[in-house]
Structure formats: structure tokens, C-alpha cells
Amino acid sequence: MKKLYYPILLISSLLILVSGCNQNATVADYPIQPVPFTSVKLTDNFWAPRIRNNATVTIPIAFSYCESSGRIKNFEIAGGLDTGRFQTIYPFDDSDVYKIIEGASYSLQTYPDPKLDSYLDTLIWKIGLAQEDDGYLYTNRTIAEMHGGKGLHEWASKNRWELDSVLSHELYNLGHLYEAAVAHYQATGKRTLLDIAIKSADLVNKDFGIGKEMVYPGHQVIEMGLVKLYRASGEKKYLDLAKFFLDIRGPNGEAYNQANKKVIDQNVAVGHAVRATYMYSGIADIAAIEKNQAYLNAITRIWEDIVYGKIYITGGIGATGGNEGFADPFVLPNMSAYCETCASIGDIFFNHRLFLLHGDGKYIDILEKTLYNSMLSGVSLSADRFFYPNPLESNGQHQRQAWFGCACCPSNVARFVPAIPGYIYAVTDKDLYVNLYISNESEVTIGSKKVKVTQKAGFPWDGKVEISVDPGSGGNFTMKVRIPGWAHNEALPGNLYKFDDQNYGNFSLAVNGKPFIPEVLNGYAVIERNWKPGDKINLELPMTVRKVVADTRVRDDIGKVAVQRGPVIFCAEWPDNNTGNILDLVVDKNSDFSTEFVPSLEGSLIIKTSGSQTRKTLNGTIETLEKEPVTLIPYAFWNNRGPGQMMVWLPIASEAAKPLPAPTIAFRSKVRASKVTKALPAVNDQIEPVNSSDHSVSYYHWWPDKDHWEYIQYDFEKPELISKSKVYWFDDGPDGGCRIPDEWEILYLTGNTWKPVKVKSPYKVTKDAWNSTDFVPVEASAVKIKVKLKKEFSSGVYEWIVE
């Protein structure tokens, strides 16, 4: 690394920044400034232990996976410290290392750790060695060039940057590098990573621009990274570069990465949800700094599109796995809900920025819902297991993993969790916004006045909050205390979800012990006075258990309710309920709810109600079994006791349930298949799809295998006389990898011999329908379907019935 020269002016602006909140910055920025997490010391029992676990468990294991997977060795090889080929799968693997450095930097500010600090120093030294002389940093290409171009990832082109709008992820890696660099500089005062970032950004600035490279980033994040670098350095060229990367998107690109329109013409949320929310956040940054109305209009329209049709009650976004992103409005399947953990984090970034622009509590309502549900579900209570998708229903096929080949989600958790205290407060020169209720001791700066703020809260279980202020000799400012939408009568902003009743308690507020009826403006109780040391606000929010119903256009939620208390969404999970069967439950429409705390699940609050199991009969009707207690746990805490059935949207009508199977031949059989996966029980669960790409019910598939024969087999307890088969094929074309098969046939086992059945008419291969086959009756001890997969595609089965 060559030493770079920085003007005195730049260093002084960096010093302002490192001193904490840059609310005194003279440059234009968000009209409301967050109080940085470094000024907020948590004293609560819910988040503080999680942030500690993130420091002691998540970050160390994340670095250890980066070591063992070869992510760090890639930097060592590129930097000449080691030899060999590129060690990992994806060219974006560099980004995980940057994200964990960002998280570790945040973490150091709460939990000083000299060992971690010096580990980061070594790691940053390696990154610096891996950076090419002109500033280029992308270990895959650097290593490939050491081997005469061999090993260059197929997503990258021979020339730098050329394929970035497709898949090379060169700029994506750098966006995370810039975020990490600013975080590390703020945490430690060391310029090491910041210098690497600046050298890189200067190269990007030299290579890209009008008349130079005009390639837009295929995976957005560099826009946010460059804005942070601009704030840290005061160099406007980085801000201009961020805007350049936004303005060259569209109109002739893919919706998948939001390049189908110019950003200022975009109206709806489309494509990959993580790319989308990172881009919307970048647009918000520029809109705030440059007062850009066209940008502001675009993200306002997009936010409405999300909250009116594309968000789950858990705050999760991105309904479909095929594009890891947004589906059409109201297409919100529960079992196959993608809701990537990164998309939840991205949506928190986006909504926080909209709040900082507008000071409206509705954005924090979304942020809070996402935080306590869809985001939190992404990490286990033990802090060492992670979800990539966060579905709202499971048949037992979902389980948190220790790590992933594509490790974006755990590394995002590692960097997001330590920054959570930074979402509690925000200020203008005359207002203090209290957004989240988490016990803490803080120091905030309102105008030029330093104010100590103490919050005592038992959130999210208890609705009582006490906020005390100490403005020294006293001070005139306005406290804006958030009254969440759910404390009025709004389950979530937008009208996609609503409470099924109007029986809500109201909030109450007292100032210095005296009841106070405030004006509530944009979701905030406004309390303006000359505050004195020891002044206290007592807020009590109603923590009633409420039932939520979805817009009837959300097909998967018809005849069902979700249960919400405060911002927390609850679910039914297998360990708490009778036989472990959950999906067949119907809850009593009119039953009461009671709450209690349990020692398991970290002393969580749980909800008790009642319901019944449902079961199919052999003649096709549904019977409702005896009434039984039903226990609900916080959604975010599911899957901490092993995989099994789980359900957020609870049927109140038996037609909406997935009844226990009738004792058919298929159900009584032992199922085998050429490829054994957790999805195998789907083939005889008697849950029918609506069509061949119905993601709301479970299916079995052979993906990614293709172009050969596979099978599913039923072994009977005793020989059965059979004469009919019905199979329903899975086909997620045109986007997915499965299609109906080329051909198939039925074989039966008699003695030790497999024989084909004699069909009465040719085999059909039909999409979106049952494929029924009558054959000459045979007595068999087992039956199998042999399936020939297409040359280019795999295949799958929803259900296979034998009669």
C-alpha cells in the first residue's frame, strides 16, 4: 500500500464524524439524524444479550467459516502470501469478509476486544496486499491472472467490470468494502481499511462515468457504500459516482435487478428483493442529500406498492425463491415464502431512511415489525444457526444451517445486530424522536444541547415504558414519542392486513406522574416543554392479543387468522402441540387467549388458546376431532427445538386447514425414492395443489438432477390389489428448474420381480391436473413410478395416489 496524501480539511471532517453523530455537519443530509448506536447503551433483557451473543458467538464463527471455506485464503493468494487457485465457489465471497469486518468493527465499540482488534489489523493487511497497484480488488480475477487467466469465474469477463451488470459482482464486493471501511475507521480511528477503500473508489471513479465504462451494478450496494465514503471523506466525487450508478440503470435491462426502467420512472417493487432494497436505500440517501424530488417520488411509490401488496405480516419481503424476490401483488404463499434474511435487513435500511426523510412513524412500524419477526427469525437463539429464507409455514422441511455456500445472510446478521441500538432515537435541532422501546442509557445532542436519556421498558412482552431526561440546566425541546400503529388499530401500515376487531385498549401517557393527553402527529405523541433534570414520561401501550386477517386477495390466508401482540407475530409449532401435527389444526374462532411466560425459549411469553385437529376420511369428507389446547410461540423463536411443522396463519375454517391424511394405501405405505430428501413425505400427505406451480403446498423434486430416470416407490405392509394411479406433477417453469417429465411408467413388485402394469390407455403427462392411469388389477407388495427427466430440466411430484 502506497501512502496517500489527505488535505487537512478532510482529516478534520473525519474527526467530526468519529466524534459520533454527524448531526452538526454543515453539508446537507437527512433532515432527521439517527443517534448513533455508540451513544446508546442497552440495559434490556431482550436485545442486549443478543448483541453480546453476536459478539461472542456469531462473529467468531463467521470468521472461522471464512477461514475454513477459503474466503480469507483467497486474499492471501491474491496478495502473494500463499499459492493456489481461487478457493471458494462464488466471486462475491470477498463480500462476506467485508461484512463481518463491518460487524466486528461495530461490535468492538460495545465490546472492546484487543484480540479481535488485532485479528482485524492482520486481515486488513491481507486485503491490502490483495489489492492491485491501481486499486483494483477482486480476488477471483487477481488469482486467475496469476494462472494465465485459468480459474476466472464464468460470471466475470476477460476485461474488468464488463459483466458487472450481469453477475460478476465486482462492484457489489466493493460496496461492502466501503461500508466496512467506514465502520472500521469510526470504530478504531485507524485508516488502514479506509485507505484501501479510497484507493479502490478512486479507481472506480476513474474507470466509470459518461464516456467511460457505462455498466450499472448488477447487485446494488455500492451506492450506499459510496455515500458513506462521501460522508467520511467529504469528497463529493463519491456521491456523484453513487448517483451515476443509479442514473445509468434502465430502461432496457432486467426487472430481476431493477434495470427495466430508469430509477426515477420506477413505480413498483420488482425482482431480487435484496438488490431492490439496497437500491431504494441508495436512492433515499441521494434524495436526502441532493433534495432530489424525482428520486423521492420513485421510492414513495415503491414503498406504497410493497406495503399495499407485497409484504408478509412478519415484515418479510420477497415472496418467491425463483427470483429471490418480489412476486405480483397479493401473491404471498406461506410455506414457500422466501423472505430472505438479507431482504428483511435491506427493508429495515430502506424504512429507516424514509423515516429520516419524513419523520413519519409508519416507517418505524414496518421497521419494528420486521425487526422482531422476519429479521430475528434469521438467527437461532444460540446465535450460531441461520435461516436464508424465513417461511411462514413448514412441514418440517426447513432448518437453520450453520453456514451456507452463499453466506450473505449470516454475514448480514453479524453486521446488523450490533447496530440495532442506533435505531432507537433520532434528533433534529429541536426534536428528540423515541422510535423503539428498549431499555437503555444514552446521550443525545439536540441542537447544541447534550441530553441524557434513560429508558426502562420490558419490551416486547410488557407495554410499560418509562423515559427520563436530564438536559443539565434544562432545555426547550420537543419529545416525539412513537405511538405504534398496532397500539391504535393498524396491524401494519397499508391495508393488506387488519385486526379482526376494534377492541383495542388505548395507550396512556403521563408526564411527571400527571396524565397527559398529547397531540398525536404522524404516529408520534408530541410533548413540547422546558425539560428539567429528572423529568419523566410514562407511556403504557396496550399489549392485547389481537387476531389479524389478510386482504382476501391473498389466497393462502383465506379462512385464517394471524395472532399479533404488540409488534410480535406468533405461530403454532410442533413441540408444543399434542402429536406434533400443526398444519391440520383449526383454531376456535371465538376462543380466548391467555398469556404466560415459559422457562424454555429464553423465558419467552407464549399464548394459549384452543382448537381441534382435522382429518380426511376415506370417503373424502373432513372430520373435526376433539377440542384441545393450542400453544403459540413468537414466530422468530420457531425452529430452535428441531425441524417440524409450524404455522403462522391459523385456519379458523376446516376448509382452510390441511387435514390429517385418510388411511389410504399410499398413506399406509413406506415411501422410498431415488433421491431421499426432507420433502419426500409430501408425495402421500394428501394435500393437493391448485396447479403445477403452487408454492403454497409442499412437493417433492429431483432438482438439480436432469436427463435420466428417477423413481418414487411405495412399499406395502401386506400385498394390496391395485388398479389405479393418480399423480400430480410439479412444474415451476418458466423461471424454475423443474418441468413435467418426458415420460413415465408404473411398475409393481410381485415376488422378487418388478413388472410393468398393463395400462388401459396411454400414459398422460399433463400439467396443472391429475394424471390418472387405470390398469389391469394386480396384487403387489410394492409399486413404483419411474420418471424420465427432461434433457434440460428436473421434475417433481406433489402427490401420488394408488387405489
Separation in Å, CA 436 to CA 695, 749, 778: 35, 64, 67
Q: Min. distance of Cβ 409 from Zn ion in angstroms?
A: 4
Q: Min. distance of Cβ 341 from Zn ion in angstroms?
A: 6
- Alpha-helical regions (H) of 548-663: 600-603
Q: For residues 617 and 661, is the Cβ–Cβ distance under 8 A?
A: no
Total residues binding Zn ion (CB under 5 A): 4
Q: Min. distance of Cβ 282 from Zn ion in angstroms?
A: 18
Q: Min. distance of Cβ 139 from Zn ion in angstroms?
A: 20
The phi, psi pair for 88, rounded to 5°, reads: -120, -175
- DSSP-based three-state secondary structure for 195: helix
* Residue of 729, 612, 618 lying closest to 667 (CA atoms): 618
d(CA 600, CA 366): 28
Separation in Å, CA 666 to CA 623, 641, 645: 20, 30, 21
Q: Which is nearer to Zn ion, 306 or 414 (CB)?
A: 414
Which positions ≥6 away from 19 have C-beta within 8 Å? none
d(CA 715, CA 671): 7
DSSP 517-535: --EEETTEEEEEEEE-TTE
Q: Min. distance of Cβ 374 from Zn ion in angstroms?
A: 12
Q: What angle do CA 663, 669, 671 make, to 5 degrees?
A: 130
The phi, psi pair for 222, rounded to 5°, reads: -65, -25
Q: Which is nearer to Zn ion, 306 or 342 (CB)?
A: 342
d(CA 440, CA 426): 14
Q: Which is nearer to Zn ion, 340 or 556 (CB)?
A: 340
Written as one letter, the residue type at 481 is V
Q: Which is nearer to Zn ion, 261 or 275 (CB)?
A: 275
Q: Which is nearer to Zn ion, 299 or 408 (CB)?
A: 408
Which positions ≥6 away from 514 have C-beta within 8 Å? none
* Residue of 681, 742, 680 lying closest to 709 (CA atoms): 742
Q: Min. distance of Cβ 246 from Zn ion in angstroms?
A: 22
Q: Min. distance of Cβ 412 from Zn ion in angstroms?
A: 6
Q: Min. distance of Cβ 285 from Zn ion in angstroms?
A: 21
Q: For the purposes of burial, counting CB atoms within 10 Å of the CB of 514, is it exposed (0-12), middle (13-18) or buried (19 or more)?
A: exposed
Grid cell, residue 133, equals 497497484
- DSSP-based three-state secondary structure for 62: helix
d(CA 173, CA 93): 8
Q: Min. distance of Cβ 343 from Zn ion in angstroms?
A: 7
- DSSP-based three-state secondary structure for 472: coil
Strand 508-511 to 393-395 pairing: unpaired
* Residue of this chain nearest to Zn ion (CB atom): 342
What is the x/- site pattern for Zn ion, positions 15-34, by CB under 5 A?
--------------------
Q: Which is nearer to Zn ion, 246 or 408 (CB)?
A: 408
Q: Which is nearer to Zn ion, 342 or 469 (CB)?
A: 342
Q: Min. distance of Cβ 406 from Zn ion in angstroms?
A: 7
Q: For the purposes of burial, counting CB atoms within 10 Å of the CB of 592, is it exposed (0-12), middle (13-18) or buried (19 or more)?
A: exposed
Q: Which is nearer to Zn ion, 343 or 780 (CB)?
A: 343
- DSSP-based three-state secondary structure for 142: helix
Q: Min. distance of Cβ 378 from Zn ion in angstroms?
A: 8
Q: How many CB atoms lie within 10 A of CB 465?
A: 22
Q: Which is nearer to Zn ion, 59 or 298 (CB)?
A: 59
Q: Which is nearer to Zn ion, 270 or 408 (CB)?
A: 408
Q: Which is nearer to Zn ion, 378 or 659 (CB)?
A: 378
Grid cell, residue 671, equals 415411501
Q: Min. distance of Cβ 345 from Zn ion in angstroms?
A: 8
Window 330 to 349, contacts with Zn ion (CB under 5 A): 340, 342
Q: Which is nearer to Zn ion, 340 or 573 (CB)?
A: 340
Taking the CA atoms of the chain, what radius of gyration do you get in angstroms? 28
The phi, psi pair for 348, rounded to 5°, reads: -65, -45
Q: Min. distance of Cβ 320 from Zn ion in angstroms?
A: 15
What is the x/- site pattern for Zn ion, positions 397-416, by CB under 5 A?
-----------xx-------
Window 744 to 783, contacts with Zn ion (CB under 5 A): none
Q: Which is nearer to Zn ion, 272 or 498 (CB)?
A: 272
What is the x/- site pattern for Zn ion, positions 664-683, by CB under 5 A?
--------------------
Q: For residues 574 and 544, is the Cβ–Cβ distance under 8 A?
A: no
DSSP state of 55: I
Q: Min. distance of Cβ 411 from Zn ion in angstroms?
A: 8
Q: Which is nearer to Zn ion, 234 or 346 (CB)?
A: 346
Q: Which is nearer to Zn ion, 92 or 699 (CB)?
A: 92
* Residue of 761, 755, 760 lying closest to 782 (CA atoms): 755
Residue 375 binds to Zn ion (criterion: CB under 5 A): no
Q: For residues 330 and 557, is the Cβ–Cβ distance under 8 A?
A: no
d(CA 144, CA 86): 7
Q: For the purposes of burial, counting CB atoms within 10 Å of the CB of 623, is it exposed (0-12), middle (13-18) or buried (19 or more)?
A: middle
Q: Which is nearer to Zn ion, 410 or 463 (CB)?
A: 410
Q: Min. distance of Cβ 760 from Zn ion in angstroms?
A: 51
The phi, psi pair for 180, rounded to 5°, reads: -65, -40
Q: Min. distance of Cβ 603 from Zn ion in angstroms?
A: 29
- DSSP-based three-state secondary structure for 273: helix
By the criterion CB under 5 A, which residues form the site for Zn ion? 340, 342, 408-409
